[in-house]
Amino acid sequence: MTAETLHTDVAIIGAGPAGLLLSHLLAAQGVESVVVENRSREYVGARIRAGILEQSSVDLLTDVGLGERLAREGDQHRGIHLQFPQERHHLDFVDLIGRSVWVYGQTEVTADLVAARDADEQRFFYSISDTRLHDIDSDHPSVTFTDADGSPYRLTADAIAGCDGSFGPSRSAIPGGATWEKTYPYAWFGILADVAPSTDELIYAWHPNGFALHSMRSDTVSRLYLQVEPGTDPASWSDDRIWDELATRLGHGQDGWELTAGPITDKSVLPMRSYVHAPMQRGRLFLAGDAAHIVPPTGAKGLNLAIADVALLAPALGDLVRKNDARLADAYSETALRRVWRCTHFSWWMTTMLHRSGDPFEEQLQLSQLRWVTSSEAGATGLAENYAGLPFEV
């Protein structure tokens, strides 16, 4: 069958937050895009992932008309609680650095983006297969794929944005790049529960049994995590065992604090790794989000970093496509990688400070670091600046 050929300004591979936001920001500059995605629209909309937005992400989403439901339903937090045995400390980011964070799930961000793109008649292809990139070193790159009905397409464009996450084909279309990778010897067991959060703001807890995190999605839905062995089967933990372990690690009963259990609606185990690919651009192919870098979840950077990449990439592609001006496009990789490495360091630092490694020497270093971060204004300010996110460099 001959492929049908389509042309657009920017071919976007992946309808995750990076791809969707990029199409939105490009449209605001009058740049057309087509988004191609190998999963179904329903699958992409239902994925449970990140939960925390930095101040810069909220500011950007608000500036581009995506802040209405976020302002109504998002929950602004002044900071986080950091806990280690017998001690719980609140770090107030607003007092420390005048910035805060919002609880607003990736599922909600994605739903708002899809609604805005639909209202703008954005062209999407969902449930595609056999996505391939071609001629990225020329001025006429293209993406070929097979649509949901089995019809082949060739999408030609002035540029391709590889927003296809950690398993997509874009990253490997940049041969000869450098990669840095670290795998951690632990994983997170995440649950979603239909119960009001037992805390006003997130609790990150160091415990001899392992790390625990109490997060949330709304006044009636809690999201909690436990450090477990990689490869743990979620079905091997009963609901009672999960709640008992969360209660132990989060300090149920200490100073009268109680963890309220409730029906668990989702269980999953997430592997943890740090990964950076450089450069993030080659010819007319630009990588954004998880396609170029992965961070472990501690510190909630993954989604925010994807948003930060796109905040740089959209004006760069706008200039390239509309004015044939490649200056921002040529600088994109180097500029983006500065923030990527800052967030990579912060996520690694939070991860290694809070997770049980089994090494008694490291345990003492962790506790010393936690005491310093929670008692020194300099220590607390460093954490706050990184967690609430540095302003975008645009």
Give catalytic residues, as residue numbers.
77, 204, 297, 301, 387
Strand partners, 152: 146
Q: How far apart are CA 61 and CA 64, in angstroms?
A: 5
Partner from ligand DHB, ligand FAD, none binding residue 289, C-beta < 5-8 Å depending on class: ligand FAD
| Polymer length of the chain | 394
| 8-state DSSP, 306 | H
CB of 385 to ligand DHB, least distance (A): 16
Place of tokens 């004006």: 315
Residue pair 158/10 in contact by the 8 Å Cβ criterion: yes
C-beta of 43 vs 372, nearer to ligand FAD: 43
**How many C-alpha atoms does 181 have within 13 Å on its Cβ side?**
7
Q: Tell me if 318 contacts ligand DHB by CB under 6 A.
A: no
Residue pair 54/311 in contact by the 8 Å Cβ criterion: no
C-beta of 92 vs 147, nearer to ligand FAD: 147
Which residues of this chain interact with ligand FAD, rule CB under 6 A? 13-19, 36-39, 44, 49-51, 106, 128, 131, 163-165, 167-169, 270, 289-290, 297, 300-303, 306
CB of 390 to ligand DHB, least distance (A): 17
- β strands within 172-291, DSSP E: 178-193, 203-205, 212-216, 222-228, 264-278, 281-282, 285-287
C-beta of 18 vs 373, nearer to ligand FAD: 18
CB of 81 to ligand DHB, least distance (A): 12
CB of 192 to ligand DHB, least distance (A): 9
Partner from ligand FAD, ligand DHB, none binding residue 169, C-beta < 5-8 Å depending on class: ligand FAD
DSSP alpha helices (H): ranges in 106-227? 106-119
Partner from ligand DHB, ligand FAD, none binding residue 210, C-beta < 5-8 Å depending on class: none
Residue from 14, 19, 251, 297 in contact with ligand DHB (CB under 6 A): 297
Residue from 83, 248, 298, 386 in contact with ligand DHB (CB under 6 A): 298
Q: Tell me if 320 contacts ligand DHB by CB under 6 A.
A: no
Residue from 51, 74, 197, 210 in contact with ligand DHB (CB under 6 A): 51
Residue pair 286/159 in contact by the 8 Å Cβ criterion: yes
- List the structure tokens of 49: 């992932």
> What percent of the chain is helix, strand and coil (3-state, nearest 5)?
40, 30, 30
Q: Tell me if 56 contacts ligand DHB by CB under 6 A.
A: no
Q: Tell me if 52 contacts ligand DHB by CB under 6 A.
A: yes
C-beta of 213 vs 311, nearer to ligand DHB: 213
C-beta of 31 vs 269, nearer to ligand DHB: 269
- Using only the alpha carbons of the chain, give its radius of gyration: 21
Q: Tell me if 388 contacts ligand DHB by CB under 6 A.
A: no
The residues in 3-32 that bind ligand DHB, with binding defined as CB under 6 A, are none
The residues in 169-208 that bind ligand DHB, with binding defined as CB under 6 A, are 202
**Residue 279, preceding peptide bond in cis (omega within 30° of 0):** yes
Partner from ligand FAD, ligand DHB, none binding residue 203, C-beta < 5-8 Å depending on class: none
Q: How far apart are CA 313 and CA 330, in angstroms?
A: 10
Residue pair 210/227 in contact by the 8 Å Cβ criterion: yes
Residue 2: Cβ within 10 Å count: 7
User: Number of residues in contact with ligand DHB, rule: CB under 6 A?
Assistant: 10
The angle at the Cα of 307, spanning 306 to 312, to the nearest 5 degrees, equals 100
Q: Tell me if 344 contacts ligand DHB by CB under 6 A.
A: no
Minimal CA–CA distance to 81: which of 200, 180, 190? 200
Residue with the CB atom nearest ligand DHB in the bound state = 51
Interface with ligand DHB by CB under 6 A: which residues?
50-52, 202, 215, 223, 297-300
